[in-house]
Amino acid sequence: MLVEDAIKTVVGEVVRQVLREEFRALQPLPPPEQNLLRLRDASRLVGISVSKLKEWLRSGALTRYGEGRIVRISKTQLLAHLAPKPRERLGHDTLERLAAKHLAGRHHGE
């Protein structure tokens, strides 16, 4: 029984170590150090709460860099996330429908 428990313990430790190494290899390479911001600094820079930044990290909108309690985010990625997105171009049919709706509303108000 002692031998079995010892083997289980050793195998468990080896498996955990291999999994840690594999997960570390899957993480994206961090951007250059000067591009990484602490959450508090990022919050001040863009005027968004730390809790909102954490929400974006949990959702995957931003990538987390660091281990344990050390959390950094990419300034470049943060600014790109906040940049206005290009508006979707409306098709001809949609424009015609919106124009007709608008004009119909104007005629009813006269």
Residue 59 sits in a domain of what CATH number?
A: 1.10.10
- The confidence score (pLDDT) of residue 30 equals 61
- The confidence score (pLDDT) of residue 27 equals 67
- Apex CA 40: angle with CA 57 and CA 70, to 5°? 65
The contacts of residue 35 (CB under 8 Å, 6+ apart) are 74, 75, 76
17-36, pLDDT tens digit by residue?
A: 888 777 766 766 666 667 89
Question: Does the pLDDT of residue 62 top 70, yes or no?
Answer: yes
Domain-located, residue 89: no
Q: Give the total number of structural domains in the chain.
A: 1
Question: Does the pLDDT of residue 108 top 80, yes or no?
Answer: no
Domain-located, residue 33: yes
Domain-located, residue 54: yes
Asked if 50 contacts 44 with a C-beta cutoff of 8 angstroms, the reply is no
Number of helices (H) and strands (E) in the chain: give both, helices first. Answer: 5, 2
DSSP 67: S
Q: Which domain holds residue 35?
A: 2-84
What is the spatial distance between Cα 23 and Cα 21, in angstroms, rounded to a whole number?
A: 6
31-57, pLDDT tens digit by residue?
A: 666 789 999 999 999 999 999 999 999
- The confidence score (pLDDT) of residue 29 equals 62
